[in-house]
Amino acid sequence: MTFIKINERFLIGVDTYNWILKDKDRGINNQNSYFSKPEKIAREIAWRYEKDAIARGELDYKKYLNNNTLLHAQISELLEDVGWLVKEKLEKLKSDLKKVK
């Protein structure tokens, strides 16, 4: 299976039934997560970065409460853009894999 590198932490791939997210920061036996749509991969990446930031104490929710609507719109737009980019790259990967077969 071929994966596309998103950054130093994440890789994405596709098999016959699923979109696959590989997270190098997770344990060796638990690196792969499977999704039905690329948009779900984008949400998962955002959630993992948020979770990591919270664990490090970098997020102060009180700071964001006043701008919650604006922040939600920005996050939604970002997720849409990332989902589109992921989908485009993985569709190309699928196409390339079909050519090889």
Mean pLDDT in consecutive groups of 10 residues from the start of the chain, 101 residues = 80 85 82 85 81 74 52 63 78 82 64
How many distinct structural domains can be found in the chain? 1
Structural domain harbouring 59: 3-100
Q: Which residue has the tokens 């596309």?
A: 4
- Residue 95 has a pLDDT of 85
Strand partners, 4: 12
User: Distance between terminal CA atoms of the chain?
Assistant: 13
pTM of the model: 0.57
Q: Which residue has the tokens 């998962």?
A: 44
- Residue 34 has a pLDDT of 92
